[in-house]
Amino acid sequence: MNNCKIIEFNKIGDEYGGYLVAIEDNLNIPFDIKRVYYTYGVKDNKIRGKHAHRNLDQILLCLNGAVKVKCFDGYEEIEIHLDDPSKGIFIGSMVWHEMYDYREDAVIMVIADDYYNESDYIRDYDEFISLCKEVNS
Ligand code: TYD
């Protein structure tokens, strides 16, 4: 999928001494970082996300616990099981994404290339589908 892919971060260390992952904008993150936010304490029956962004690029990391992420670009759908803090998902613009099956201890950190802006969200699924059709026509 063009605008959605797994990023494997380099981890320094080993299972005995623990691991260190460094995140550096424009080196292992493909943009300037403007915002970092995180979610935690999400109930396992809750579905978060359920939107796409018009312009925002983001990378999701599961720092603790596990979560499933479904991404749909209007053409292809992929499901990713995020359960490793050295693995991230790049979710670019115009990708509908949903996070679900949160493990109770899941901490999801998101790194974004812009500030929070509600007008960048597409929260209506039918609107997302028609915008995808417009782009592809
Ligand atoms: P939302 O992006 O819908 O969260 P999720 O995708 O995890 O379900 O945001 C939830 C609420 O938090 C919404 O009211 C907007 C607000 N919010 C901010 O104020 N700042 C932020 O950086 C983000 C991501 C959300």
Task: Report d(CA 137, CA 122) in Å as an integer.
Answer: 19
Nearest CA to ligand 1 atom 5: 49
Rounded to the nearest angstrom, the distance between the alpha carbon of 115 and the centre of ligand 1 is 11
Which contiguous run of DSSP H or E holds residue 43?
Answer: none
Q: What integer pLDDT is reported at residue 118 of this predicted model?
A: 98
Q: In the predicted model, is pLDDT for residue 69 greater than 90?
A: yes
Question: At residue 81, what is the residue type?
Answer: H
How far apart CA 60 and CA 99 sit, in angstroms, is 10
Q: How far is the CA of 58 from the centre of ligand 1 (A)?
A: 13
Q: What is the model's pLDDT at position 50?
A: 98
Give 38-55 pLDDT, tens digit per residue: 999 999 999 999 999 999
